[in-house]
């Protein structure tokens, strides 16, 4: 029931999104097709006048003042005030035997629009949005007709203005609903609810509940669960409650719990990706110790007699998925690694020599680049113990120093290369992050950032 990952959008983030949304809405409204107007009007003592108004063109629609607000338990509210619009078109009139035509201008002023947006999530876990409420009120409409009989129209301009007001008020909310459906909803659906990390694992960012609006922010609770691409299985643990601190300096915050990273560890372990082999050909040229029985005979003398001058192989594996914890000082884990040593016989078969257990305190540094969480492990002191030996007893103290060199120079770089592939953050299309800040809290990695829409 608890999310493993939470995205928080602050008021400044909503304000930034609002600027782009309002620009789109203004553009949509300038392309509104207004219907022709016709009717009869009786003016004493002139008589009945038949009029037709056509080719209505909404030349501009401007929102000099608008804002977006968080409405707890509802969603978002967009308020537009003091908007104005200009319309022009053609008119025709028939009075008895008199006929005339001309042009006209309409100015609508003091337009007030209120829009409530309801946020939700669909069956696939993607966010949804629809217009829950819309109202438009136009305080002032002015119509001016030109032409030989323009004075006649001006006699009943109040009735024409009333019709224009009703038409515009109805059209605005129609366009708002259409724009939300055709622009905002498809864009929100670009939020990836699943993302591929590499050929081994993916991450599930599906929403576990509708986005929640509070007085300060909009919170999006996500599953935040990594999984094996080969075979997805449920993690043997559940996420703890995730609480984000009340930071509002950035437009958006990403909160990842230890559950998020531990499901990745579980997925890699289940996929068999936490097994590494070290052979002599992999030893860096900067390391003077070759991986063979001749080198190891200095620490295990009986090797020289049992397996003289043979190459060796080390197989490193984690008996269980390493468990990561997050605290104020950062990310840390204490993995247990089994190290099985083999002698490679002349016929290429492997002869097991001994099995060691390695325990080490490991910390992780985190950074964000191009929308990815990148990690790097830093290994502290390693502690070795002998679990099993096929070659008798030997002194561990001297042996562990060379194993330490192999692990530090080969295993750690390989693990860090994999972590450098990164975890993709859940970002909709064309969003880039800047001014990133990284914070650590109990059970929480918090990433704050500003956003830029390309």
The CATH number of whichever domain residue 359 belongs to comes to: 3.15.20.10
Q: How far apart are CA 407 and CA 382, in angstroms?
A: 10
User: Does residue 233 form part of some domain?
Assistant: yes
pLDDT of 112 over the 90 cut: yes
Q: Nearest-CA neighbor of 293 among 374, 375, 207, 394?
A: 394
User: Does residue 133 form part of some domain?
Assistant: yes
Task: Give the list of residues 6+ apart from residue 416 with CB closer than 8 angstroms, or none.
Answer: 375, 376, 377
**245 lies in the same domain as 157:** no
Say if CB 48 and CB 42 are below 8 A apart.
yes
**116 lies in the same domain as 158:** yes
Say if CB 30 and CB 61 are below 8 A apart.
yes
Of 167, 189, 211, the last residue of a domain is: 189
Q: How far apart are CA 218 and CA 361, in angstroms?
A: 37
Q: Which of 37-41, 350-354, 449-453 has the lowest average pLDDT? A: 37-41
**114 lies in the same domain as 251:** no
pLDDT category at 91 given cuts 50, 70, 90 is: confident
Q: Which of 106-110, 144-148, 238-242, 312-316 has the lowest average pLDDT? A: 144-148
Of 146, 168, 189, the last residue of a domain is: 189
Task: Find the DSSP H helices in 235-336.
Answer: 258-270, 293-296, 302-306
**293 lies in the same domain as 422:** yes
User: Whole-number mean pLDDT of the chain?
Assistant: 91
What residue numbers bound the domain in which 103 lies? 11-189
User: Does residue 2 form part of some domain?
Assistant: no
Q: What is the reported pLDDT for 159?
A: 74
Domain total in the chain: 2
**221 lies in the same domain as 356:** yes
**168 lies in the same domain as 287:** no
The CATH number of whichever domain residue 151 belongs to comes to: 3.15.10.10
User: Does residue 6 form part of some domain?
Assistant: no
pLDDT category at 211 given cuts 50, 70, 90 is: very high
Q: Nearest-CA neighbor of 65 among 97, 94, 122, 26?
A: 26
User: Does residue 334 form part of some domain?
Assistant: yes
**178 lies in the same domain as 210:** no
Of 130, 160, 189, the last residue of a domain is: 189
- Which tokens is 142 given? 């002015």
Say if CB 426 and CB 222 are below 8 A apart.
yes
pLDDT category at 121 given cuts 50, 70, 90 is: very high
Q: What is the reported pLDDT for 101?
A: 83
User: Does residue 414 form part of some domain?
Assistant: yes
Q: How far apart are CA 407 and CA 120, in angstroms?
A: 49
Write the DSSP assignment of 329-394 as a string of letters: TEEEE--EEEEEEEEE-TTS-EEEEEEEEEEEEEEEEEEEETTEEEEEEEEEEEEEEEEEESS---
Q: How far apart are CA 244 and CA 236, in angstroms?
A: 25
pLDDT of 340 over the 70 cut: yes
**199 lies in the same domain as 97:** no
What is the rounded average pLDDT of the residues 399-410? 84
**299 lies in the same domain as 430:** yes
Q: What is the reported pLDDT for 276?
A: 93
**121 lies in the same domain as 174:** yes
**309 lies in the same domain as 355:** yes
DSSP state of 193: S
What residues does 377 pair with on adjacent strands? 364
For the stretch 145-177, pLDDT in tens is 877 766 666 666 777 788 889 989 989 999 999
User: Does residue 1 form part of some domain?
Assistant: no
What is the rounded average pLDDT of the residues 375-402? 88
**116 lies in the same domain as 259:** no
């Amino acid at each position: 029931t608890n999310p493993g990952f939470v995205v928080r959008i602050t008021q400044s983030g909503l304000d930034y999104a609002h600027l782009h949304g309002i620009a789109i809405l203004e553009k949509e409204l300038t392309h509104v097709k207004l219907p022709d107007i016709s009717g009869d009007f009786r003016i004493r003592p002139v008589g009945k006048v038949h009029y037709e108004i056509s080719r209505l063109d909404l030349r501009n629609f401007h929102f000099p003042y608008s804002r977006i607000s968080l409405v707890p338990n509802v969603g978002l509210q967009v308020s537009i005030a003091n908007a104005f619009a200009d319309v022009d078109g053609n008119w025709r009139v028939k009075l008895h035997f008199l006929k005339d035509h001309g042009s006209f201008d309409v100015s609508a002023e003091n337009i007030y629009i209120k829009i409530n947006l309801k946020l939700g999530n669909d069956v696939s876990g993607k966010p949804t949005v629809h217009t829950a409420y819309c109202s438009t009120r136009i305080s002032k409409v002015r119509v001016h007709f030109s032409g030989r009989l323009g004075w006649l129209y001006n006699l009943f301009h109040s009735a024409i203005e009333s019709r224009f007001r009703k038409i515009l008020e109805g059209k605005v909310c129609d366009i708002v609903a259409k724009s939300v459906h055709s622009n905002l909803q498809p864009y929100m659906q670009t939020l990836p609810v699943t993302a591929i990390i590499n050929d081994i694992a993916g991450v599930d960012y599906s929403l576990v509940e509708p986005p929640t609006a509070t007085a300060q922010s909009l919170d999006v609770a996500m599953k935040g669960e990594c999984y094996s691409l080969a075979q997805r299985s449920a993690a043997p643990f559940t996420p703890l409650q995730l609480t984000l601190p009340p930071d509002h300096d950035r437009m958006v915050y990403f909160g990842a719990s230890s559950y998020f990273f531990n499901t990745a560890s579980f997925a890699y372990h289940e996929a068999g990706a936490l097994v590494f082999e070290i052979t002599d050909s992999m030893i860096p040229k900067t390391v003077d110790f070759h991986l063979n029985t001749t080198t190891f005979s200095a620490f295990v003398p009986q090797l020289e007699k049992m397996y003289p001058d043979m190459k060796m192989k080390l197989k490193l594996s984690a008996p269980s998925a390493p468990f990561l914890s997050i605290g104020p000082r950062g990310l840390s884990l204490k993995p247990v690694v089994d190290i099985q040593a083999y002698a490679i016989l002349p016929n290429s078969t492997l002869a097991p020599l001994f099995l060691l257990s390695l325990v080490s305190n490991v910390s992780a540094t985190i950074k964000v680049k191009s929308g990815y969480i990148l990690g790097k492990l830093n290994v502290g002191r390693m502690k070795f113990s002998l679990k099993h030996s096929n070659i008798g007893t030997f002194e561990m103290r001297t042996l562990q120093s060379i194993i330490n060199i192999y692990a530090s120079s080969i295993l750690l770089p390989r693990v860090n290369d994999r972590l450098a592939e990164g975890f993709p953050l859940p970002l909709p299309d064309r969003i880039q992050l800047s001014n990133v800040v990284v914070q650590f809290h109990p059970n929480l990695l918090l990433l704050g950032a500003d956003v830029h829409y390309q």
